[in-house]
């Protein structure tokens, strides 16, 4: 099935990234296979995740959304096939072996479309708001939570316990800015959230990617970080260069002589077109060449040597 994940990167981004390569072999779907299946353990901790057979889950009759976009649902299902369900749904117990969706019906429908037999879910048994809040806060204080689990816990406190970010920060003993930064991680594309969750990407890298609004650019740079083991500072430089390239350049009537374009075209073959040239009307100017590796420079030098012989 063709999906919307195959987005064009644009000339600026393509030139900046070069060839990121295929790193799909490093990605395995997040299936919460280490979690218990519902019914196989005792009292349920509302902060934990269990796996529920799809046949035991009923939709919410009070679901405000009456229709779901078919294309968007198919796209989400394809994402779940590739990366797993990153954010579990929330259900409540409705009797013996029956559960009703509180939030995440769209994710549930996409899971069924993707062919999943078990759906990861938070199970909310009690109506006592204080008990639920206490369980989630206790979960946050665990040391083994990954960044996405931490962000989802914060989101649950806001949505299910009706807390503001300020109140939530006070409950968990964190600065509000830290809480906000974690919540922003949930705005990243599913592919990037997956890589952050399984440890292929650091929180520092993810924060840098949030400076971009284009999901395709975020995904492509994520791939490049993993393939080339880029540091946060190196990623910041890539993002800065990309943002500078996206800014509209002032129009000018000054045209370069044909020979200048030939120089740019020839050298661009060796440096992935990361070349800029400025020329004043008097003929003075500067040419800047950016290279990504010693190999690029080595290829260029070999070409110079060959032309001199």
Q: For residue 242, give the 3-state DSSP assignment.
A: helix
What is the rounded distance in angstroms from the CA atom of residue 144 to the CA atom of residue 141? 9
| CB-based contacts of 98, cutoff 8 Å, min separation 6 | 56, 58
Which residue in the list 19, 36, 75, 105 is annotated as catalytic? 105
74-79: long-range contacts (C-beta < 8 A, 24 or more apart)? 74/1, 74/3, 74/113, 75/3, 75/4, 75/5, 76/106, 76/107, 76/110, 77/110, 77/111, 77/113, 77/114, 78/1, 78/3, 78/5, 78/114, 79/3, 79/5, 79/110, 79/190, 79/191
258, exposed or middle or buried, with CB in 10 Å at 0-12, 13-18, 19+?
A: exposed
The partner residues of 276 in beta bridges, in order of sequence, read 288
What is the rounded distance in angstroms from the CA atom of residue 239 to the CA atom of residue 243? 6
User: Cβ atoms within 10 A of the Cβ of 43, count?
Assistant: 6
Strand 118-124 with 285-289, pairing: unpaired
As a whole number of Å, the CA-based R_g of the chain is 25
Known catalytic residue: 117?
no
Closest C-alpha among 159, 197, 154, 160 to residue 176: 154
Catalytic residue positions?
105
């Amino acid at each position: 099935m063709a999906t919307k994940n195959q987005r064009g990167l644009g000339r600026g981004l393509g030139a900046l990234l070069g060839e990121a390569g295929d790193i799909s072999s490093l990605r395995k779907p997040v299936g919460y296979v280490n979690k218990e299946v519902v019914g196989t353990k005792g009292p349920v901790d509302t902060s934990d995740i269990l796996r529920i057979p799809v046949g035991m889950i009923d939709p919410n009759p009070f679901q405000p959304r009456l229709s779901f976009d078919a294309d968007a649902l198919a796209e989400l299902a394809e994402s779940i096939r590739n990366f797993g369900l990153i954010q579990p749904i929330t259900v409540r117990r409705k009797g013996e072996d029956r559960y009703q969706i509180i939030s995440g019906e769209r994710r549930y429908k996409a899971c069924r479309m993707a062919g999943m037999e078990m759906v990861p879910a938070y199970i909310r048994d009690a109506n006592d708001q204080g008990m639920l809040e206490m369980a989630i806060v206790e979960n946050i204080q665990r040391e083994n939570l990954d960044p996405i689990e931490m962000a989802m816990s914060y989101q649950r406190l806001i949505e299910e316990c009706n807390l503001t970010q300020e109140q939530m920060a006070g409950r968990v003993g964190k600065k509000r800015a830290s809480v906000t930064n974690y919540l922003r991680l949930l705005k990243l594309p599913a592919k990037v959230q997956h890589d952050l969750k399984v440890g292929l990407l650091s929180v520092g890298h993810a924060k840098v990617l949030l400076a971009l609004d284009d999901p395709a650019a975020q995904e492509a740079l994520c791939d490049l970080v993993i393939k080339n083991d880029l540091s946060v500072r190196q990623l910041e430089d890539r993002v800065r260069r990309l943002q500078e390239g996206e800014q509209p350049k002032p129009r000018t009537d000054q045209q370069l002589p044909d020979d200048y374009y030939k120089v740019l075209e020839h050298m661009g073959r060796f440096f992935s077109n990361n070349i800029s040239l400025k020329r004043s009307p008097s003929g003075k100017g500067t040419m800047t060449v950016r290279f990504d590796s010693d190999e690029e420079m080595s290829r260029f030098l070999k070409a110079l040597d060959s032309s001199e012989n």
